[in-house]
Amino acid sequence: MSRSPSFSLKPDQPTSKIDPQSLSKWVVAFCTIRFDLEQGQLIEECFPPGSLTQEEELEIAFSSFPDSVSQHHNRSTIHDCIFFFRFRRGGRKASDFGNQLSPNKLDNNSNSGRYLYGFVFNRQRHDERLKRGGEQKSVVLLSHNPYSGVFKPLLQIMGPLYFDIGKKALEHIATCVSMWPSPLPGNLMELPIGNATLKVNLPPPHSLSSDGGISFEESTSSMAPFLPNNQSIPQGLFHDADIFGIYRGLLLQLWLLWELLLIGEPILIIAPTPPQCCEAVAALVSLLAPLLCSVDFRPYFTIHDPDFAPLNSLQEGHAFPPMLLGVTNLFFLKALRNIPHIVSVGSPFLSSSRLSLAPRASSGRISARPEGIGIRNLSLKKFSPSNLLNAVKLRREGPLCLMTEHKEAIWSTYNATTKPDTSILNRLIDAGMSPRVEESMSVVNNEILRRHFLELTTNFLAPFGPYFRATTPSEGSSPFVDPPPLPPFNSDEFLGSLSARGPGKFLAKRMRYNWLDLYRRFLKGQNFKPWFQRRRAVAEQEQHRLWRQARMKTDIQQFISKMSELEIVDSFNSIERYLLAEMQSGKANADHAAVCQKLKGDLETVFNVLPKDMQQSLLLNPQREALLQGSHERKDVTDCIIILLVDNILNIHHSSFSRNPKVETP
């Protein structure tokens, strides 16, 4: 755990008034939960009061403590840890897991409820004078947003502060948070907390699911398809996850895990402690950037979660839903035996995850000089006769062997298409046993790995680029006609075209001959449709912006001088339609005013060149006359917009009706 920012606060310091609306943009509630030997988990405080239902409080209480089965006893007086969980508000109907279970039932964008993230500071205190030799308490922060880079450092302040001054800590922290500016996804934010300041890059809008309260416009912004130059800018969720630290013993399998999550395969990750299983889930999700992860991921999943019972009752032969579950309770190995991919990570000993992979000298000492880990060392470790026998034994025994001894391993029958990149593995640095050097080298290794998988995912998604390509009006053509629609997407046509031209140089070097099957699985998986729909929305918004910009730059006089009378009438109707749409948008800024002024001028220009009889016919509509003259008050203009919109709809309907002679009038 990194060092906490400094924070000073007097117990008798008065609390400022909290703005609930400002607080809710970051935090739903703060809770303190005590583990009672007779009554179980009890919520002692919930601030602000009434923020959660009784069912939600119960679920939060059960998820805020380490599983007793997973704990390895230690004699430390005080043991603190930070982890997080994720659950759906409002729960889920049991029928969703019945015989008609499908991947869509577990989609993040389902209407059954928004997700809540619970970030936990758990303290275990060893004291022989107490029953069972100790006590447990947790401080929990609830939010709709997965801002781990904000909430983990905040918990490092709030947790110890609560155990120092009690419930007042929650109110003081809530006061500070309520004074923060609104979250700006994709931006660097400086968030004051006491005498400290948290400087955090929030994840980009396109990586956040719509159930987090983010608007559609925000979620479709900043989705550039290019690789960023600044590595500190997140391109997806959990940019702070320690990929190298948690998967150090399974580096060769990262490409397999990336592929499984990419196509939406169900994965169970088991680790000795909640912080380790959370880190493993978060690190794996971060590898998908810049792709939106639409698989239901649960960083810390317990048997008390409402979704466990339906999953446990799945009948033999029924497909397991696309989920990424992080667990510590070994009971899941038996309860969810139908899950096809199981990953075991971490170590029951806190320091074991930092063991060196450098070759040991005959004396058994570890070299202190930082070295490249190297594919050669990894390969020898994997394919030596003794390790080959151990691998065969592991496969034969299956994941149930973890019941007797924890080992880092993967059980899966899936044959990966993507090959491990040896050049990336050779660049990773092994820093020996020094904790400070180890932490620095882990940062470097994480940047190498994250950059590579960002590039891998970006290149994998590149063939879809033509379906998101916005067009502009060709030279000499009118920008007042409707822009052409984006190319329609057809899976079979896409796969056929891709098969003919190949995957591209980057992927061709890193994928096997069956690379097209990976695209086929991706199209059927959980992640494709939500990502594709957002990218299309971005392209449509960009095309709208380009054509709107073209209308601003167009000299209408040049166009109407070359038009026939019928084309001039069509242009008048088009400009009027765009003007009404702009006025109906509800925007109030200088750009909006300039566009309205330009369109109004163009409308008057086109109107003035129309024949007198046509002008008189158009002016028979008093609302159109008011729009052209601009002499009425705002209320009259609003009324004229509504009437003209109805008039336009009726005209369009009449036009389409007249082109369909097969329809009989009543």
For residue 433, name the pLDDT band (cuts at 50, 70, 90): low
- CA 534-458-257 angle, 5° bins: 100
pLDDT score at 475: 79
Question: Is the backbone peptide bond immediately before 48 cis, with ω within 30 degrees of 0?
Answer: yes
pLDDT score at 662: 40
pLDDT score at 384: 54
Residue 14 or residue 289, greater confidence:
289
Per-residue pLDDT for 584 more than 60? Answer: yes
Question: Which has the minimum average pLDDT: 113-117, 164-168, 329-333?
Answer: 113-117
Per-residue pLDDT for 268 more than 50? Answer: yes
Per-residue pLDDT for 522 more than 90? Answer: yes
Per-residue pLDDT for 587 more than 90? Answer: no
pLDDT score at 103: 37
pLDDT score at 666: 34
Query: Rounded mean pLDDT of 598-607?
Result: 86
Question: Which has the minimum average pLDDT: 277-286, 377-386, 418-427, 648-657?
Answer: 648-657
Compute the half-sphere exposure of residue 328: CA atoms within 13 Å on the CB side of its CA.
25
Burial class (CB in 10 A: 0-12, 13-18, 19+), 307: buried
Distance of CA 236 to the CA centre of its chain: 6
Task: Identify which of 254-268, 402-416, 431-445, 462-476 has the greatest average pLDDT.
Answer: 254-268
Give the DSSP letter string of 371-397: EE--HHHHHHHHHSHHHHHHHHHHHHH
Q: For residue 476, report the phi and psi dihedrals to the nearest 5 degrees.
A: 90, -10
For residue 382, name the pLDDT band (cuts at 50, 70, 90): very low
Q: In what order do the strands lie in the sheet with 296-298?
A: 296-298, 323-327, 267-270, 341-344, 409-411
pLDDT score at 620: 81
Per-residue pLDDT for 144 more than 60? Answer: yes
Query: Rounded mean pLDDT of 447-472?
Result: 94
| One-letter amino acid of 335 | A
Residue 240 or residue 229, greater confidence:
240
Rounded Cα distance between 427 and 551, Å, is 52
pLDDT score at 389: 63
Give the DSSP letter string of 498-522: HHHH-S-HHHHTTB-TTHHHHHHHH
Q: Using alpha carbons only, how large is the chain's radius of gyration in Å? A: 30
Rounded Cα distance between 120 and 157, Å, is 12
On whether the CB atoms of residues 322 and 395 are closer than 8 A, the answer is: no
Place of tokens 């920008």: 479
CB-CB neighbours of 240 under 10 Å: 20
Torsion angle of the four alpha carbons 476, 482, 487, 489, in this order, in degrees rounded to the nearest 10? 180
pLDDT score at 117: 96
pLDDT score at 158: 94
Query: Rounded mean pLDDT of 435-458?
Result: 86
Per-residue pLDDT for 650 more than 70? Answer: no
Per-residue pLDDT for 489 more than 60? Answer: yes
For residue 603, name the pLDDT band (cuts at 50, 70, 90): confident
Rounded Cα distance between 208 and 144, Å, is 10
Question: Which has the minimum average pLDDT: 366-370, 463-467, 540-544, 608-612?
Answer: 366-370
Per-residue pLDDT for 365 more than 50? Answer: no
Which residues are CB-contacts of 348 (< 8 A; sequence separation ≥ 6)? 72, 272, 273, 406
Rounded Cα distance between 584 and 639, Å, is 11
pLDDT score at 212: 52
pLDDT score at 349: 67
For residue 510, name the pLDDT band (cuts at 50, 70, 90): very high
- CA 582-584-587 angle, 5° bins: 70
For residue 347, name the pLDDT band (cuts at 50, 70, 90): confident
Residue 621 or residue 427, greater confidence:
427
pLDDT score at 224: 44
pLDDT score at 526: 93
Query: Rounded mean pLDDT of 291-316?
Result: 91
How far is the first Cα of the chain from the last one, in angstroms, to the nearest whole number? 76
Compute the half-sphere exposure of residue 524: CA atoms within 13 Å on the CB side of its CA.
10
Place of tokens 């009038």: 665
pLDDT score at 579: 85
Rounded Cα distance between 621 and 205, Å, is 45
pLDDT score at 388: 59
Rounded Cα distance between 481 and 487, Å, is 18
DSSP 269: E
Percent of the chain past pLDDT 90, that is, above it, reads 41
Beta-strand pair 40-47/188-193 = unpaired
Give the tens place of pLDDT for each residue, 60-71: 999 998 875 444
Distance of CA 184 to the CA centre of its chain: 15
- CA 344-349-350 angle, 5° bins: 100
Rounded Cα distance between 447 and 464, Å, is 26
pLDDT score at 404: 86
DSSP 74: -
pLDDT score at 213: 52
Question: Which has the minimum average pLDDT: 20-29, 266-275, 360-369, 442-451?
Answer: 360-369
122: three-class secondary structure by DSSP? strand
Per-residue pLDDT for 112 more than 80? Answer: no
- CA 286-452-280 angle, 5° bins: 30
Which residues are CB-contacts of 238 (< 8 A; sequence separation ≥ 6)? 146, 148, 203, 282, 283, 285, 286
What the block records as the tokens of 225 is 């398809």
What the block records as the tokens of 398 is 């299956």
Query: Rounded mean pLDDT of 204-208?
Result: 88
Which residues are CB-contacts of 609 (< 8 A; sequence separation ≥ 6)? 560, 568
Give the burial string for 101-129 (b: 16+ CB within 10 Å, else e).
Answer: bebebbbbeeeeebbbbbbbbbbbbeeee
Percent of the chain past pLDDT 70, that is, above it, reads 74
Give the DSSP letter string of 84-101: EEEEETT---GGGGSTT-
